[in-house]
Amino acid sequence: DTEVTQTPKHLVMGMTNKKSLKCEQHMGHRAMYWYKQKAKKPPELMFVYSYEKLSINESVPSRFSPECPNSSLLNLHLHALQPEDSALYLCASSQRTTGSSGHEQYFGPGTRLTVT
């Protein structure tokens, strides 16, 4: 199974709402990632979890709060978002982030978020 699943596929939320994005993988990967992608731009790294610990936070605003409850799950909690946060949010996983091999990432299909 080389699949990363993300729910929901689409999400529309108001600026005062609180919502969560979910990501799951069952490949035994120990690194998980959140990316944000705007139209016609490359994915931007937001957070990296390695062995369930946050290892990279790319200076993401605190209205985005990641959580890694276990090695298979990754959540992104959203609150007080702005319209400019509307984007495709991608989750990915890899075996590790460091080591002697390249650790290619497997991406989910993304959640299309619209903030109104």
Partner 1 sequence: LAKTTQPISMDSYEGQEVNITCSHNNIATNDYITWYQQFPSQGPRFIIQGYKTKVTNEVASLFIPADRKSSTLSLPRVSLSDTAVYYCLLNNNDMRFGAGTRLTVKP
30-49 positions binding partner 1, by CB under 8 A:
33, 35, 42-45, 48
76-115 positions binding partner 1, by CB under 8 A:
88, 90, 92, 94, 97-110, 112
Question: What number of chain residues touch partner 1 (CB under 8 A)?
Answer: 27
Number of residues that this document lists for the chain: 116
Residue 69 parent element (H or E): strand 64-70
- SS3 at position 14: coil
Instruction: Please give the torsion angle defined by the CA atoms of residues 64, 67, 73 and 76, in that order, rounded to the nearest 10 degrees.
Output: -10
Q: Rounded to the nearest whole angstrom, what is the least distance from the CB of residue 95 to partner 1 in the complex?
A: 11
> Contact, 95 vs 105, CB < 8 A?
no
Neighbouring CB atoms inside 10 A of 23's CB total 27
x/- contact string, 11-30, with partner 1 (CB under 8 A)? --------------------
| 60: contact with partner 1 by CB under 8 A | no
Residues that bind partner 1 (CB under 8 A): 4, 33, 35, 42-45, 48, 88, 90, 92, 94, 97-110, 112
